[in-house]
Amino acid sequence: MLKFFRKIRLKLLQENKVTRYLAYAAGEIFLVVIGILIALQVNTWNEERKSNNESIKLMQEINSEFSDNRIVLKERIADLENANSYVRTVLGFINTDQDEFQKTNMDSIISKSLKYGNYNPANSSIKELISSGRLKLVRDPSLKKNLFKWLQLLEDADEDFKNQDMQATTLLIPYLYKNIAMQNLNTYNNLSVDSKSALFNGDYHKVFKDLEFENLYQGKLFWNTEMLNHYKSLDTLALEIIHQTK
């Protein structure tokens, strides 16, 4: 094509048709510029198409990840709500008459009240998104804000778990070691313990008259509730992110 244009220019010069030559040269330059612009636009369209495809794939990955995370999160919420119901049952027996304990399986109630667990969701999509600098693929500003909010809420929930764990391991469990038989509790913890302690007669009356015991369970209720509130906030946010990435 260029060889063809060159022949035309040479012919015009040989025929001394300078004006037509200049007009033709200007037209040729214009065509070259148009060609370059078209090529640039095609390249831009290709880049946008690739970016859109990446963005769609990313949304699918985030949606799948949060759908799975929400399943585990709802299990954690159910576990904490169940544990909290037993914690409140324990507190309801504070300062109760001794004969009331004979009607209740307190070993089982205390064992179930002690359960709690951390929530460690998969965040590979978000972390890879931030570390790789591909955050621009998240086109929705509200979604981008929610992803950062999710990470912040996870930190808050993890801090609650650490406080709960510290309270349990340094205060509550040591107190129970000194005042009741852990072997009796373990019969309800799937530890293959099928006999109760011969050193504890099951008399909880003294323990439930102790202010320290009440305070320890009030602390457990507080941190359980803090964790539960954060988990419910995470669940609401996860549901919103799932809708935003459909």
Domain ranges for the chain, please list them.
2-244
Predicted local distance difference test score (pLDDT) of residue 176: 93
Taking the whole predicted model, whether its pTM rises above 0.85 is answered as: no
- Three-state DSSP state, 139: coil
Structural contact between residues 24 and 9, judged by C-beta atoms closer than 8 angstroms: yes
Predicted local distance difference test score (pLDDT) of residue 2: 46
Q: Which residues of the chain have pLDDT under 70?
A: 1-33, 35, 39-51, 190-194
- For residues 14-26, one letter each, b for 16 or more C-beta atoms within 10 angstroms of the residue's C-beta and e for the rest, the string is eeeeeeebeeeee
Predicted local distance difference test score (pLDDT) of residue 21: 45
Amino acid at 222: F
pLDDT in tens, 31-80: 666 767 776 666 666 666 666 777 788 888 889 999 999 999 999 999 99
